[in-house]
Amino acid sequence: MKCLLITLGLSVGLAWPARSQSAKHVVLISIDGFRPDFYRESNWPTPNLQRLAAQGVSADGVRGVFPSVTYPSHTTLITGVAPAAHGIYYNSPFEPDGATGRWYWEENLIKTETLWDAVRKAGRKSASVMWPVSVGAPIDYNVPEFWSTDKNIDRLTPVREQTTPTGLFAEIEQNATGKLTARDMSSDYVSGDENGSRIAAYLLETYKPALLTLHVFGVDHAEHQDGRDGAHVRRALATADWVVGNLLEALTKAGIDKETAVIVTGDHGFVDITTTLAPNVWLSETGLYGSGKGNWKAQFHTSGAAAFLMLKNPKDLKTLARVRRMLAAAPAAQRALFRVVERPELDAIGADPHAALALAPVLGVAMSASREGAVVRPGKGGTHGFFPDTPQIQTGFIGYGAGFTAGQVVPQMELQDIAPIVAKLLGLPFAPNQSQLPAQLVKP
């Protein structure tokens, strides 16, 4: 239905009625693994973020979605609704016969309207760089995040092939970055975010889109490796701060800085990990998760730190009861590592409607998909995916520039609030929820 409405609107040359807008342009920057302490505490290498927070509006915390992982969260940022509504439940879909390596890459998997849809309906231009779930999106200048499941294909070739319009990637290499290799866009190196920033800056200066979305991914990679702090985290965070400064400079060069709103936000926080729990081992031991293809009645689909119970037959209440008894009978030391999230609570937070229940670990514990070996194992580094009811897993929000009422601090907001704020800034008729924050933070 979403695609049909867009097609009908474009086919007759219609633009959606304009509303009062307080910014001609919005730059929406998502720093993967972004945390409020990065701009609240002066010991972090973030002079640009700290300045924007001081001079603009900011939040002490942004409550995310469940699981608090990248793809569902970024889709909530661009739609204003929870995963149950937009359809991107995890980073990678549940595949009953085993994971193939696919992720939710394609925008046509999103079930609800996006900000990109709304911008196009309004007859304006958009641009995007490395945003999750954006392959094939209605974006005028789009460099999407995408890779092949074929390990013989490097990570950059699929991005080149999916960049639109045709020829845009070659234009970027000629005018902004020079010839790029897969290593130049890798999260293993700070050059990945640096080059993403150069691409975004070029699109801003050259095409001046009404909306630009940029995904900065290096901080997440570093926090997975080091946990919440470490040398790699600080290098990646300093680069992310440079990215923000680079885009602010690009807006000045383009002559649109005074009419542009800049939002810096993220998808989730991070938690240090000491322990790993493998609940599929329990299912294997009880015969509910066999070793052959299709030989299963129940299995846990892990996503970050969380695990979601899938039933081969969703109406198999007997197996569901067996799983509940199995969880209740776990040794006390293991049972203390998680809580069971039942369907009513999953419905309330807007999680995958197909899961029978979920396991939300305590801080310090992450779930493993393994169905062999020890149930409890050592863990290290950091991760996310936790139920978003703790400050450590919350992300942050900064709003700066045209349209924002400077000096406001929001104690707590929701990830679903951000898309309506963008829509109000741009005057788009896009109201996916009942958020009150756009009226509070954005000038009429």
Task: Specify the CATH number for the domain of residue 434.
Answer: 3.40.720.10
Residues 137 and 285 in one domain: no
276, 361 Cβ separation under 8 angstroms: no
Looking at the domain assignment, is residue 140 inside a domain?
Answer: yes
Residues 307 and 351 in one domain: yes
pLDDT tens digit sequence for 40-92 = 999 999 999 999 999 999 999 999 999 999 999 999 999 999 999 999 999 99
Q: Beta partners for 25?
A: 260
Q: How far apart are CA 367 and CA 361, in angstroms?
A: 7
Looking at the domain assignment, is residue 366 inside a domain?
Answer: yes
Residues 178 and 211 in one domain: yes
> Any idea what DSSP says for residue 414?
E
Residues 305 and 394 in one domain: no
Looking at the domain assignment, is residue 417 inside a domain?
Answer: yes
Which domain range does residue 169 map to?
Answer: 16-270+389-441
What's the whole-model pTM score? 0.94
Residues 124 and 72 in one domain: yes
Average pLDDT over residues 167-177: 98
Residues 321 and 418 in one domain: no
Residues 349 and 401 in one domain: no
pLDDT tens digit sequence for 211-265 = 999 999 999 999 999 999 999 999 999 999 999 999 999 999 999 999 999 999 9
Residues 164 and 46 in one domain: yes
- Mapped onto helix, strand or coil, the DSSP state of residue 307 is strand
Looking at the domain assignment, is residue 4 inside a domain?
Answer: no
> Any idea what DSSP says for residue 442?
B
- CATH number for the domain harbouring residue 331: 3.30.1360
> What is the number of domains present in the chain?
2
Distances (CA, A) of 413 to 58, 62, 154, 167, 436: 10, 5, 39, 40, 10
Residues 183 and 281 in one domain: no
Residue 132: closest CA among 204, 32, 203: 32
Give, to the nearest 10 degrees, the angle between helix 191-207 and helix 231-254.
10
Average pLDDT over residues 118-122: 98
pLDDT at 270 over 50: yes
267, 74 Cβ separation under 8 angstroms: yes
Residues 52 and 178 in one domain: yes
* Res 15: pLDDT: 44
Looking at the domain assignment, is residue 11 inside a domain?
Answer: no
Residues 220 and 295 in one domain: no
Looking at the domain assignment, is residue 64 inside a domain?
Answer: yes
Residues 193 and 322 in one domain: no
